[in-house]
Chains A and B, each alone.
Chain A
Amino acid sequence: MAVVVMMIVSIICFVLSNVAYDPAVGIAGAQATDEDVALIRQTYGFDRPLPSRFIDYLGNLAQGDLGVSYLSKRPVLDMILERLPVTAMLAFFSMTLALAIALPIGCAAALWPNTIIDRLSQFLAVAGQAIPNFWAGLLLIVLFGVQLRWLPISGSDTYAHFVLPAITLGTYAMPPLMRLIRAGMIDVLGSDYIRTARAMGIQPLKLTFKYALKNAVLPVISLSAVQLGFMLGGSIVVESIFALNGIGYLAWQSMSRSDMPVIQAIVLMISMIYIVLTLLADLLNAYMDPRLRSARK
Chain B
Amino acid sequence: MLLQVRGLHVNLPDQGERLHAVRGIDLDVAEGETLCLVGESGCGKSMTALALMQLLPRGAQLRSDRLHLGETDLSALPERKLSQLRGRRMSMIFQEPMTALNPVFTIGDQLRTVYRRHTGASAREAQARAIEMLESVGLTNASLRLGQYPHQLSGGLRQRVLIAMALMCEPEMLICDEPTTALDVTTQAQILRILKDAQTARKMGMVFITHDLGVVARVADRVAVMYAGRIVEQGDRASVLRTPAHPYTKGLIASVPRPEGAQPGTRRLASIPGNVPAFHREDARCPFLSRCPARMDVCGAVPPPLRQVPTGQVVSCHLSLDLLEPVPA
Contact = CB atoms under 8 A, between A and B. Distances in A.
Q: Do chains A and B touch in the complex (CB under 8 A)?
A: yes
A204 B78 CA distance: 13
A220 to B, nearest CB: 14
Contacts of A215: 102-104
Contact of A193 (B83, B101, B166, B168): B101
Interface string A194-217: 111111111110100001001100
29 contacts: A192-B94, A192-B96, A193-B99, A195-B55, A195-B94, A196-B94, A196-B100, A198-B83, A199-B86, A199-B166, A200-B114, A200-B166, A201-B85, A201-B87, A201-B118, A202-B117, A203-B83, A203-B117, A204-B79, A204-B83, A211-B102, A214-B105, A215-B102, A215-B103, A218-B104, A289-B103, A289-B104, A290-B103, A290-B104
Contact of B100 (A192, A201, A203, A290): A192
A191 interface: yes
Most buried by B among A193, A196, A204, A214: A196
B83 A202 contact: yes
Contacts of A191: 99
Nearest to B111: A200
A72 interface: no
Nearest to A212: B102
Contacts of A290: 103-104, 149, 151
A190 B56 CA distance: 11
Contact of A288 (B88, B104, B110): B104
B155 to A, nearest CB: 13
B86 A196 contact: no
B113 interface: yes
A197 B104 contact: no
B99 A199 contact: no
Contacts of A288: 104
A114 to B, nearest CB: 10
A200 B151 contact: no
A296 interface: no
A200 B149 contact: no
| 10 closest A-B pairs by CB | A201-B87, A200-B87, A201-B86, A192-B99, A290-B149, A199-B92, A193-B102, A200-B114, A196-B100, A192-B100
A185 to B, nearest CB: 14
Nearest to A192: B99
Contacts of B100: 192-193, 195-196
Nearest to A199: B92
Nearest to A291: B151
Interface in A251-297: 288-291, 294
A187 to B, nearest CB: 12
B91 A200 contact: yes
Interface of B: 53, 55, 57-58, 79, 83-88, 91-92, 94, 96, 99-105, 110, 113-114, 117-118, 149, 151-152, 162, 165-166, 168
B68 to A, nearest CB: 19
Given A191-B99, A291-B151, A211 B105 contact: yes
Size bracket, chain A contacts: 20 to 34
A191 B57 CA distance: 11
Contacts of B110: 197
Interface of A: 113, 190-204, 206, 211, 214-215, 218, 288-291, 294
Chain A CB count within 10 A is highest, among B55, B104, B113, B117, for B104
B92 A291 contact: no
Given A211-B105, A288-B104, 8 more contacts: A200-B117, A201-B86, A202-B113, A202-B117, A204-B79, A214-B104, A214-B105, A289-B104
A141 B37 CA distance: 68
Contacts of B102: 193-194, 196-197, 211, 215
Contact of A199 (B57, B91, B105): B91
A151 B165 CA distance: 57
A291 B105 CA distance: 11
A201 B83 CA distance: 4
A205 to B, nearest CB: 10
Contacts of A202: 83, 87, 113-114, 117
A214 B114 CA distance: 18
Contact of A198 (B55, B151, B168): B55
Nearest to B86: A201
A201 B114 contact: yes
A4 B165 CA distance: 48
B101 to A, nearest CB: 6
Contact of A201 (B84, B105, B151, B162): B84
Contacts of B84: 201
B149 A294 contact: yes
Contacts of B118: 201
A214 to B, nearest CB: 5
Contacts of A113: 58
Contacts of A196: 94, 100-102, 162, 165
Contacts of B79: 204
Nearest to B95: A192
A203 B102 CA distance: 15
Nearest to B151: A291
B56 to A, nearest CB: 11
A288 B105 CA distance: 10
A222 to B, nearest CB: 15
A201 B88 contact: yes
A204 B86 CA distance: 12
B94 A200 contact: no
Contacts of B165: 196, 200
Contacts of B53: 199
